Amino acid sequence: MKVYGSSVLKGLLYTLKTFVSTYVEDFRRKGASSNGLLRSHADGVVTVEYPEKLLPIGATYERFRVLPMLIYDQQESGEKDIRCTSCGICAKVCPPQCIWIVQETDENKKPVPKPEAFYIDTSVCMNCGLCSEFCPFDAIKMDHKFDLNTTSNRQESYLYDMERLLVPAEYYAELHPKANAAEEEARRLEAEAKAKKEAAKKEAAAKKAVEAKAAKAAASAAEADAPKAAKADDPERAARIAAAKAKAAEAKAKREAAKAADGAETADAAAEVSETSSENESSPKASDEA
Amino acid sequence: MEMIEQLFVMLKQAALALPQALLPAELYARYEGMLSLVIGISAILVFAPATMLFLTWMERKVVARMQKRYGPNRVGKFGALQPFADGIKMFMKEDIIPKAVDPLLHSLAPMVILIPAVMIFAVMPFGKDMILVDLNIAILFIMSISSIETIAILMAGWSSRNAYSLISSLRAAAQVISYEIPLGFSMVAVLMMAGSMSTLDIVLAQQGGWFVLTPWGFLGFLIFFLSGAAEVNRTPFDVPEAESELVAGFHTEYSGMKFGLFYMAEFLGAFAIAAFSITFFFGGWLDPFEPLLGFAILPSWLWFMLKTYVLVFVFFWFRGTLPRLRVDLLLNFAWKYLLPMALLNIPIAALWFYLPAGPIRWVAGWAIGGSLIFGMHQLLTYHRVKKLYGRYERPSRPVVTESVPLKS
């Protein structure tokens, strides 16, 4: 039987339950270090009294994002292997254009895929996260560090250099456990596929080598014209080659004929040839001078 | 216990001791009644704003908790000094009187709304021997005084020369006039059973058991409380204020302390409705455990406050739960639901009156009264239930599985 107004009572009960549960949860939090907990929406007051209580980094939601960070893998030798290859995709895709990258060069001034300098103007950055979305090397990711206020030298402290942007991969894994796992999985699969492909290639190469050897052995007995004939199976190309050959032969014949004639004539012809060629070469220069 | 019970009475006696010592006996005897009234009125005039301050803080805290927030917590411990900060702010703010308003009515309205809100405290039995005047027409007094607030709201809305304010005040007039009727009828059953209009007599009539435990008392309480909530414009009946529709309603054009007075009147009204619900249906200042234990656990005035604040909490609970009613639904609720229910309540009370006292009255009274109330409720809300749930129970259309040839 439907009783009108019963849903009003249901609603009232819900708010009363919320009212009581917030106090119960307050009492429960008193013992535990309430500072370290993300207040879930399921129970208790969700407010974090920010200046007095601070959520530790990583206690918020995984996809929470504040400012990009650069990731490096710690090598066993103690070296920092920065994932960034300074390809510049992040700088191109950045809507407010706040990323500035300088590519590293070796002693021969040849660029190497490493950033020499990496700046992010955090006063311009709008925390959109597009850089991390577009990075093909999982090198730039969004940080969780939200407590950024500073009292000294604001102008310069807004400009983050590589030193401030670099974080170890473990830090990223801690902040983004799900995303990191997915990326690791993707990387692993990619590496596997690559390895497979390489193995297949090697196998194919080996097979080819064997086949080629056999073919060579078989062909050694065959005539030398065979490859020519094989080449001529493209009629157009063959025709073109034939035409070129004919032309060359004609030119050669002409030249020989000219040689056979008197030297002055030859000199004339040569001068003519060189003149046209020099004219051709210097024509842009000449037009410039003109 | 007797000391604490009589604390305020003794305070009054102490205050009277000074004029008694100073004045000649004859003069004192003549003016004693007036002096004690003055003391009582001063006490109420101190009590009312203090209550209002506390209620603003409590409302914000309660509603905040229902929304999983902390509420005010910056000023003082638990934000307890917040109302004082607000009060200081109210006093410091510029009192703007817009050019277009009717200045006399505009300035008068906040006073006119506050005076009845405080006046109603005169017949409130705060505890044993703690009533300012034991009026023998207290119920009529409450009815008449509480409806003066409408005039103030109309004054405020009309004088503001603001369309929102005017709409708000017209809504308020419609609402208060509608809800006054069930409010009055719900009190009829009480005065039938108590045999008196005096609030003190009504409290004393409940020594055998609270009225709310009887079917007519239960229904009467619900009607009284809901109509009262509408009468003082509490959510979900705050159509005159309706901040999402009418900016702030009738007090849109007010600022500073005049605005504060409107707020004070509203909170005092809510407190008064809660207090009179207690008085009429929950045994007022009576200690519910005294007949069982033989001694009082808490002083009577504390019992009164405790019970009242439970009901005040219910007001805030409503505010934290229920959305505002649409105007037509609001008036429908008064005329098509509360009024018939209030009319039904009177014969139920009469039936209860004529049933022989004892367990048979409780069983038969509740059986007949309860079924009557439930039947009436279902009858009155049948069309709404049908409208609400009917469409979900409509048989679904037959599913066409075969292709139907197109008509040429």
Q: Are A8 and B70 within 8 A, CB to CB? A: no
pLDDT (tens digit per residue) in B285-327? 888 887 777 777 888 888 889 999 999 999 999 988 988 888 8
DSSP A90-149: HHHH-TT--EEEEEEE-TTS-EEEEEEEEEEETTT-----HHHHH-TTS-EEEE------
Burial of B186 (0-12, 13-18, 19+ CB in 10 A): buried
For residue B55, count other CB atoms closer than 10 A to its CB: 23
Mutation choice for B interface testing from A10, A15, A34, A52 by most B CBs within 10 A? A15
Say whether A19 and B73 touch across the interface (CB within 8 A). Answer: no
Q: Which residue of B has its CA nearest to A8?
A: B322
Higher pLDDT, A267 or B286: B286
State the burial class of residue B255 (Cβ atoms within 10 Å of its Cβ: 0-12, 13-18, 19+).
middle
Q: What is the pLDDT of residue A35?
A: 47
- CA A14, distance to chain mean position in Å, is 51
- Bridge partners (DSSP) of residue A141 are A69
**Nearest CA of chain A to the CA of B313: how many Å?**
11
* Residue of B62, B322, B385 lying closest to A11 (CB–CB): B322
Residue B193, pLDDT above cutoff 50 = yes
Residue B174 C-alpha from the chain's centroid: 18
What's the burial of A158, exposed, middle or buried (CB within 10 Å: 0-12/13-18/19+)?
A: middle
Q: Is A88 exposed, middle or buried (0-12, 13-18, 19+ CB in 10 A)?
A: middle
* pTM score above 0.80: no
Determine the Cα–Cα distance for residues A119 and A161; give it in Å rounded to an integer: 5
Closest CB to B69: pick one of A3, A14, A47: A47
Distance (Å, whole) CA B231 – CA B178: 9
Task: Please state the domain extents for chain B.
Answer: 93-386
Residue that is written with structure tokens 């927030």 in the block: B69
Q: How many CB atoms lie within 10 A of CB B378?
A: 14
Cβ–Cβ of A4/B377 closer than 8 Å?
yes
Q: Any chain A CB within 8 A of the CB of B78?
A: no
Q: Check if B29 contacts A (Cβ < 8 Å).
A: no
Q: Please list, residue by residue across A253-285, b when 16 or more beta carbons sit within 10 angstroms of its beta carbon and e when fewer do.
A: eeeeeeeeeeeeeeeeeeeeeeeeeeeeeeeee
Spatial contact of B263 and B269, defined as CB atoms under 8 Å apart: no
Q: Is B63 on the interface with A (CB under 8 A)?
A: no
What is the percent of chain B with per-residue pLDDT over 70, rounded to a whole number?
95
Distance from CA of B394 to the nearest CA of A (A): 15
pLDDT by residue (tens digit) across B99-145? 888 888 888 888 898 899 888 888 888 888 788 888 888 889 988 88
Strand partners, A69: A141
Task: Count CA within 13 A, CB hemisphere, residue B181.
Answer: 15
* Tens digits of residue pLDDT in A101-122: 988 888 888 888 888 889 988 8
The nearest CA of chain B is from the CA of A3 a distance in Å of 7
Amino acid type, A177: P
Q: What's the confidence (pLDDT) of residue A54?
A: 72
Question: A289 pLDDT band (50/70/90 cuts)?
Answer: very low
Residue in A1, A4, A7, A46 to test binding to B, most B beta-carbons within 10 Å? A4
> Which ipTM score applies to this complex?
0.80
In which band, very low, low, confident or very high, does the pLDDT at A225 lie, cut at 50, 70 and 90? low
Q: Does position A277 have pLDDT exceeding 60, yes or no?
A: no
CA distances from B174 to B117, B233, B254 (A): 19, 12, 22
Query: What sections of B131-162 are H helices per DSSP?
Result: 138-146, 148-159
Q: In sequence order, what are the residues at sequence separation of 6 or more whose Cβ sits closer than 8 angstroms to the Cβ of residue B69? A: A45, A46, A47
Q: Bridge partners of A99?
A: A120
pLDDT band for A37, please (50, 70, 90 cuts): low
Cβ–Cβ under 8 Å, residues B223 and B338: yes
On the question of pLDDT at B18 being above 90, the answer is no
Residue of A nearest to B385 (CA): A4
Contacts B69 to A, Cβ<8 Å? 45-47
Residue A231 has pLDDT above 60, yes or no: no
Share of chain A above pLDDT 90, in %: 9
What is the full DSSP assignment across A35-96?
GG----SSSS-----TTTS-PPTT-S-TT--EEEEEEEEEPTTS-EEE------HHHHH-TT
Q: Which residue of A has its CA nearest to B315?
A: A12
Question: B256-281 and B25-66 helices cross at what angle (nearest 10)?
Answer: 100
Tell whether the model's pLDDT for residue A285 goes beyond 50.
Answer: no
Residues in chain B: 408
The percentage of residues in chain A with a pLDDT greater than 70, rounded to a whole number, is: 78
Q: Which of A47-56, A76-85, B263-272, B328-337 has the lowest mean pLDDT?
A: A47-56
Task: Please state the rounded mean pLDDT for residues A212-216.
Answer: 87
Mean pLDDT of B224-249: 81
Does residue B69 sit at the A interface (CB-CB below 8 Å)? yes
| Residues in A 21-80 with any Cβ partner in B closer than 8 A | 22-23, 41, 44-47, 49
Per-residue pLDDT, A32: 57
pLDDT score of A195 more than 90? yes
Q: Output DSSP code: residue B395.
A: P
Residues of B in contact with A41 (CB under 8 A): 68
Contact A130, A95 (CB under 8 A): yes
Q: Which structural domains are found in chain A, ordered by start?
A: 1-56 (no CATH), 68-175 (3.30.70.3270)
Contact state of A3 with B378 under an 8 Å Cβ cutoff: yes
Measured between alpha carbons, how far is B348 from B372 in angstroms, rounded to an integer?
Answer: 8
With cut-offs at 50, 70 and 90, classify the pLDDT of residue A13: very high
Q: Measured between CA atoms, how close is A1 to chain B, in angstroms?
A: 10
pLDDT the model gives residue A199? 92
CA distance B13 to chain A (A): 42
- Per-residue model confidence (pLDDT) at position A38: 53
CA of A52, closest CA in chain B: separation in Å? 12
From the list A2, A15, A41, the residue facing B385 with the nearest CB is A2
End-to-end CA distance of chain A: 104
Dump pLDDT digits (tens) for B367-385.
888 898 888 888 888 877 7
Q: What is the pLDDT of residues A249-258, one digit of tens each?
A: 888 888 877 7
Q: Which of B189, B247, B144 is nearest to B365 (CA)?
A: B189
Residue B94 has pLDDT above 70, yes or no: yes
Confidence of residue A31 (pLDDT cuts 50, 70, 90): low
Question: Has residue A26 got a pLDDT over 80?
Answer: no
Packing angle of the helix pair B300-321, A6-31 (nearest 10 deg): 110
Is A3 an 8 Å CB contact of chain B?
A: yes
What value does the mean pLDDT of chain A take?
A: 78
**pLDDT above 70 (res B215):** yes
Comparing A282 with A78, the larger pLDDT belongs to A78
Tokens of B171: 């809504």
Nearest CA-CA distance, residue A126 and chain B, Å? 29
pLDDT of residue A214: 87
Q: Which percentage of chain B shows pLDDT scores above 90?
A: 11
B212-217: average pLDDT? 87
Q: How many whole angstroms separate alpha carbon B322 and alpha carbon B317?
A: 8
Token pair of B245, please? 């529709």
Q: What is the pLDDT of residues B29-38, one digit of tens each?
A: 888 888 888 8
